[in-house]
């Protein structure tokens, strides 16, 4: 993975996404990554996807973030990053 781009293969088709941020959380022992292909929702807001991954494995496999506490953690990190930028 390039640090600014993420390539995901879905059904044999490669899609390239821009990476907003990624971080590893010692409490959950997972890595998290936020990325987008700059599509907008019905309200005109950019759709940003978030996935988790195992930082201890060299081949990154993405998993959905379904736990509300994990999503809250990811949103807190995103808000901190936005306040710095």
For the segment 5-47, what is each residue's pLDDT rounded down to a tens digit? Answer: 999 988 999 999 999 999 999 999 999 999 999 999 999 999 9
Q: How far apart are CA 15 and CA 30, in angstroms?
A: 23
Q: What is the distance in angstroms between the CA of the first residue and the CA of the last residue of the chain?
A: 23
Q: Pick from 26, 6, 25: which is nearest to 16 by CA?
A: 6
- β partners of residue 46: 40
Contact in structure between 32 and 51 (CB atoms under 8 Å): yes
Say what the pTM is. Answer: 0.84
């Amino acid at each position: 993975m390039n640090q600014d781009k993420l390539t995901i293969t879905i059904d044999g088709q490669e899609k390239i996404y821009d990476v907003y941020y990624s971080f590893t959380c010692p409490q959950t022992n997972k890595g998290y990554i936020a990325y987008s292909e700059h599509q907008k929702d019905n309200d005109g807001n950019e759709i940003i996807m978030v996935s988790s991954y195992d930082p201890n494995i060299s081949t990154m496999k993405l998993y959905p973030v379904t736990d509300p506490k994990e999503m809250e953690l990811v949103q807190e990190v995103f808000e901190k990053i936005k306040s710095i930028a």
